[in-house]
Structure 1
Amino acid sequence: MDFSIASILLLDGLTNGAIYALLGMALVLVFAVTRVIFIPQGEFVAYGALTLAIFQTGKTPGTVWLLLIVAVIAALMDIVSSWRENRNAALAFKTGFRTFVIPAVICAVSAWAATRGFPLLVQALLTICIVTAFGPLVYRVAYESLAGASTLVLLIVSVGVHFAMTGLGLLFFGAEGFRNPSFWDARFAAGPLNVSGQALIIFLASAALIVMLWLFFERTLYGKALRATAVNRLGARLMGISTRSAGKLTFAMAGLIGALSGLLIGPTTTVFYDSGFLIGLKGFVAAVIAGLSSYPGALIGALAVGVVEAFGSFWASAFKEVIVFTLILPVLLWRSLASGHSDEEH
């Protein structure tokens, strides 16, 4: 290996690491606020890439109909829950309507626009809206009623949600893989490196989203409410912060990050209905390196995962996944030795 090859591998590793960083920070965010280890985060990535790919064929993506079905289920759950609490039919249906109306509008607009041949950026925006809308609905259907359960129960639910979303992905997208067109086809030479426009978009979009997340948590009332919920759920409830709304907002942000990651990774590799699992696991490794608590740690860990993956694929391509996932073992051992053990919260 010479310097030019090492530079190319380093660039590839940092490019992939920028995407893993987004996923790692989404996992840290979801766990901090809701105590959910959100294994299906990778499915949002696959749904984002595949939804845009179906838009490119001029057809209506299956995620539009899936979103409508999940919205109906969530709305019915809200109606039943509100009726049990208040015995007021008008209020119950109003609650269900609020849950249903935004996803329904997104589905209607997407179905109308699918065959109109809109530009790539418009289709990408519709894709982001569709996948982001899944977040609060997944939280409502799968997690909200178990908000007080133990972390182990929530993890088991996450495994079930992962398998459900993977199976639905196969049903609505099929087994065929798709590769999306690049958002920017330019190429720039920098010594031995040949940097593509798509790689620059990945870096810029990742950096912009990281800055936006920082501004959101530091400068906005909703961001501070999420931080308060992450620090102390009971204290946040006593101060009037709705943990239910915090959970929905957190999952919406996870859906947004997953959709954007899918759009960014779609032009660089062929994405299948089950590709999100491995991608999400690499984000999970980054989140574990950060202790599921530190956003800067998740960023550093993700870049390290991307670089190790790139060099591992060069030296032993058949074992690159093994090399990446083995990184988690020394991290867990170090954290186990460095921190005290305590019983699970009750």
Structure 2
Amino acid sequence: MTWDVALILGIDGLANGAVYLLAGLGLVLIFSVTRVVFVPFGDVAAFAALTLAAFETGRMPATIGMVLTLAALAVIVEVWSLVRKREYTRIPRALLGWGLLPTLPCLAAWAISGHDVPSAVQILVAVALVVPITPLVARVALQPIADASVLVLLIVSLALHFLLSGLGLLFFGPEGSRTGPLAEGALTLPGGFPLSAQVMLMIASAVVLSAMFFLMFERTVAGKALRATAVNRVGARLVGIRPARTALLAYVLASLLAGLIGVLVAPVMTMYYDSGFLIGLKAFVAAIIGGLVSYPLTAIGALAVGTVESFASFWSGALKDVIVFSLLIPVLMLRSFLARHVEEEAEEIDR
């Protein structure tokens, strides 16, 4: 391997790491607030990419039908829950929040389908169209079992991935799609190596969005509420913070990140209805490196996963995924060694 090849692989690893960084932030955000390992995160990113591809080809995106279906299910579940509690005065608000609001991006997508509109508008509508997916899915399947164990929530989340993957096949079909580049041109580095504008955009987006999330958590009331719920759900409830509301905010922000990821990766890889699973799984490796609680360690883990994947694809394209997922073994062994074991502490106390 020459230095030129190593530089190419390193930059490619940074671009991959930027994607896994955003996905890892979304996974950690959801888990820290709701204790849910949201496996379908990558599916939402794939739907955003397929939606943007549909806009570029002049077709109406099938995401509209998916969102409307999920919205109808969410309305039914919410209204039934309110009827059982005899809280009839909250039904109009439920119809507005779970029925009307998700319909607005669907109307926007229907309005621009088949029309020649600027790419920026297509990107905004594509991202806005997938933002309701995660909150709607969570309302239907996860909120009713919010107090279940982490294992039960993980099993349900995995089942949701297969459900969304099946819906993706039903609505989008098996064909893959790729969009045009979001940025044209390239920057020539010292030594004559070109760095494409698309790669720079991916890296810059990860840096900017990470900084925005940091400022939100540190400077805004909503961000502090998310942090409080992540630290102690009972304590947050005692000071007037509603965990259900913060959970909804976490799902919305994570869905927004997933939509942005789908838009960023759509020009560099062909996306299918199930392509998001590997993105989410590799981001999960990065989140595990961060312990599913630390955002800085998750960022480091994402860059490590992207770099390892890039170099592994050079050494063996068939085994690159195996090499990436093998990172979990030493990380889990190290965390198990450093973790405090309650059983061992109890034995020491008895002695």
**2:227 aligned residue:** 227
Matched AA of 1:133: P
Secondary structure at the residue paired with 1:73? helix
Distance 1:97 1:184 in 2: 38
**1:170 aligned residue:** 169
Matched AA of 1:273: Y
1:327 pairs with 2:327: yes
1:39 pairs with 2:61: no
**1:127 aligned residue:** 126
Matched AA of 1:309: E
Secondary structure at the residue paired with 1:36? coil
Instruction: Select between 131-140 and 219-228 the one with higher mean Cα deviation.
Output: 131-140
**1:244 aligned residue:** 244
Matched AA of 2:96: F
Secondary structure at the residue paired with 1:195? strand
Instruction: Select between 286-295 and 99-108 the one with higher mean Cα deviation.
Output: 99-108
**1:147 aligned residue:** 146
CA distance change for structure 1 residues 155 and 205 in 2, over 3 Å: closer, same or farther?
same
Matched AA of 2:90: L
Distance 2:175 2:106 in 1: 23
Distance 2:57 2:174 in 1: 16
- For the Cα contact (< 8 Å) 1:75–1:97, is it kept in 2? no
Report deviation, 1:26.
0.8
RMSD: 1.2
Gaps of 5+ in 1: none
- For the Cα contact (< 8 Å) 1:312–1:323, is it kept in 2? yes
Distance 2:231 2:87 in 1: 35
Distance 2:82 2:270 in 1: 44
Distance 1:342 1:207 in 2: 39
**1:103 aligned residue:** 102
- For the Cα contact (< 8 Å) 1:139–1:247, is it kept in 2? no
Matched AA of 1:207: V
**Cα deviation code 1:192-235 (max 9, x no counterpart):** 42111111110111111101100110010011001000011111
The normalised TM-score by structure 1 is: 0.96
Report deviation, 1:94.
3.3
Report deviation, 1:87.
4.7
Give the count of matched residue pairs: 342
CA distance change for structure 1 residues 78 and 115 in 2, over 3 Å: closer, same or farther?
same
Report deviation, 1:79.
1.2
**2:113 aligned residue:** 114
CA distance change for structure 1 residues 85 and 309 in 2, over 3 Å: closer, same or farther?
same
Matched AA of 1:32: S
Structure 2 counterparts to residues 261-276 of structure 1, below 5 A = 261-276=261-276
Distance 1:73 1:132 in 2: 16
**1:200 aligned residue:** 200
Gaps of 5+ in 2: 344-351
Identity across the alignment (%): 46
Report deviation, 1:93.
3.4
Distance 2:335 2:3 in 1: 35
Structure 2 counterparts to residues 208-219 of structure 1, below 5 A = 208-219=208-219
Distance 2:23 2:217 in 1: 17
Report deviation, 1:105.
1.4
Secondary structure at the residue paired with 2:60? coil
The normalised TM-score by structure 2 is: 0.95
Matched AA of 1:7: L
Report deviation, 1:342.
4.3
Report deviation, 1:127.
0.8
Distance 1:287 1:270 in 2: 25
**Cα deviation code 1:150-189 (max 9, x no counterpart):** 0000000001100001111111111111111001111111
Report deviation, 1:22.
0.6
Structure 1 runs (4+) greater than 6 angstroms displaced: none
Distance 2:81 2:313 in 1: 51
Report deviation, 1:65.
1.1
Matched AA of 2:148: A
- For the Cα contact (< 8 Å) 1:4–1:192, is it kept in 2? no
Matched AA of 2:184: D
Secondary structure at the residue paired with 2:132? helix
Distance 1:225 1:70 in 2: 27
Report deviation, 1:102.
0.9
CA distance change for structure 1 residues 156 and 9 in 2, over 3 Å: closer, same or farther?
same
- For the Cα contact (< 8 Å) 1:52–1:124, is it kept in 2? yes
1:28 pairs with 2:28: yes
CA distance change for structure 1 residues 227 and 183 in 2, over 3 Å: closer, same or farther?
same
Matched AA of 1:293: V
Matched AA of 2:288: V
Distance 1:109 1:24 in 2: 29
Matched AA of 1:115: G
